[in-house]
Amino acid sequence: MKNYSEINDLDLARFYIKKITDHVRRSYVLLTKELYPIEERYQLSLSYLSLAENTYLQFRKHQNEKELFGSYIEDFEKPLNLCLFQFHKCIEEREDNFSWLNGQYEDYIDQSSKTIDKLTDLIRS
């Protein structure tokens, strides 16, 4: 049985991952949907990427302070970093065909969902 502190630590990690994923999702939608002119889409998308990266840094601080290490977290970090890299590359190169970004985005969303599910299972056990 986990104590309250361990449950709280896992729940905060799960919260951070959900927020990161939400920011990445919003960045993707703003970039790929033609709701605004392309230059505005780049700027809006980059704003949400900055929020995602900032939240990720907060997550890493929490992870290191609470020593939350495991394959389920490591499995989440690699797709996130690849996805962020691809987003930045896309914006820096002023790309307007986002089909190649979709695969990296979907990989990240899939892995973040698995990580959130794993953390939820750990909290419940």
pTM above 0.85? yes
Q: What is the per-residue pLDDT across 33-62, written as a single tens digit (0 to 9) for each?
A: 999 999 999 999 999 999 999 999 999 999
How is the chain split into domains, by residue range?
A: 4-124
Q: Nearest 10 degrees: CA dihedral of 26, 59, 110, 87?
A: 50
What does the alpha-carbon distance between residue 13 and residue 10 come to, in Å, rounded to a whole number? 5
Percent of the chain whose pLDDT exceeds 90: 85
